[in-house]
Amino acid sequence: MKKRSIIRSIGIAILLFIINAIFLALAQIITSNVAIAYLISYTLMIVLLIKLYQKDLKNDFKNLTKDFKKNKKELILVPLILIIIVYLLNALFFKICGIEAGNQLLAESELKESIFLMCLHTIIIAPIAEELIFKLPFKDNKKKPLYNALAITILFTLIHIFPESNPLAYLYLIAYFVLGVSFTYPFYKTNNVLLSIIVHIINNLINVMIILF
The pLDDT > 90 percentage for the chain reads 74
- Residue 165's pLDDT is what? 75
Which pLDDT band, with edges at 50, 70 and 90, does 99 fall under?
confident
CB count within 10 Å of CB 171 equals 18
pLDDT at 1 over 50: no
The DSSP secondary structure of 158-170, one letter per residue, reads: HTT----SSGGGG
- Residue 162's pLDDT is what? 78
- Residue 4's pLDDT is what? 53
The rounded distance, in Å, linking the Cα atoms of 56 and 127 is 18
Asked, for residue 63, whether it belongs to a domain, the answer is no
pLDDT at 177 over 80: yes
Asked, for residue 125, whether it belongs to a domain, the answer is yes
pLDDT at 180 over 90: yes
- Total domains in the chain come to 1
Reported as a single tens digit per residue, the pLDDT across 150-160 is 999 999 999 88
Which pLDDT band, with edges at 50, 70 and 90, does 2 fall under?
very low
Reported as a single tens digit per residue, the pLDDT across 14-53 is 999 999 999 999 999 999 888 899 999 999 999 999 999 9
Asked, for residue 59, whether it belongs to a domain, the answer is no
- Residue 112's pLDDT is what? 77
For all residues of the chain together, what is the average pLDDT? 92
pTM listed for this prediction:
0.92
Nearest to 137, CA basis, from 18, 9, 48: 9
Asked, for residue 29, whether it belongs to a domain, the answer is yes
Structural domain boundaries, residue 131 = 3-49+73-212
Asked, for residue 57, whether it belongs to a domain, the answer is no
Residue 63 DSSP one-character state: H
Asked, for residue 68, whether it belongs to a domain, the answer is no
Asked, for residue 152, whether it belongs to a domain, the answer is yes
**How far is CA 107 from its chain centroid?**
14
The rounded distance, in Å, linking the Cα atoms of 177 and 128 is 18
